[in-house]
Amino acid sequence: MGLLIRLLVLGLLGATLIGVVQARPDFLGIGALSETQEYIARMAQRREALSRRAELIQQRSDAKQVIIRELLDDKLTLLQAARRFKDLNETPITCQDNYRLRYPGWSDGEKVCRQVLAWLDLDLAGLPPDQGKALSHRYEQELREHLESHDGVVVLPE
């Protein structure tokens, strides 16, 4: 008989608990669980978006390294390299490089030339100092001459 009473009491408690949960899902944190699942889903979407952005930035960085190598191999002029950097910087529109804020200059063309020079200096750091300074000076001189011959404005090739 004791077992029957225990089962009856457990059944009543179970039925009461089910009724409470149906009436108030937040009683056992079920509503909070749903909110937590939604939060986890939003964070997963955010992580995926950040991952795509990081991948794009890495691809852009790799492409800029190739451009610097082509500049040093005399396959590109400073202005041609700057044009390619500018195109990379501005694509896609949802993930643009903010070079305009980081590099000095009177025009976007000059700012992107200074960005190329900064990347070049990083690459030249591995060379003997005299050789690195000579190459850096060469490209800075190219920029100065262009500015002087174009009334202080950098005109990038198309």
pLDDT tens-digit series, residues 107-140: 999 999 999 999 999 988 888 888 889 999 999 9
Domain coverage including residue 140: 59-149
State the chain's mean pLDDT as an integer: 86
Q: Is residue 130 part of a domain?
A: yes
Q: Is residue 116 part of a domain?
A: yes
Q: Is residue 87 part of a domain?
A: yes
pTM greater than 0.75 (yes/no): no
Q: Is residue 121 part of a domain?
A: yes
Which pLDDT does position 14 carry in this prediction? 63
Q: Is residue 108 part of a domain?
A: yes
Which pLDDT does position 72 carry in this prediction? 94
pLDDT tens-digit series, residues 12-50: 666 676 666 666 665 555 556 678 888 888 898 988 988
| Structural domain count, the chain | 1
Whole-angstrom distance, CA of residue 43 vs CA of residue 41? 5
Better-scored residue on pLDDT, 88 or 30: 88
Q: Is residue 27 part of a domain?
A: no
Which pLDDT does position 8 carry in this prediction? 63
Whole-angstrom distance, CA of residue 139 vs CA of residue 99? 19
Q: Is residue 36 part of a domain?
A: no
- CA atoms within a 13 Å half-sphere pointing along the CA-CB vector of 108: 11
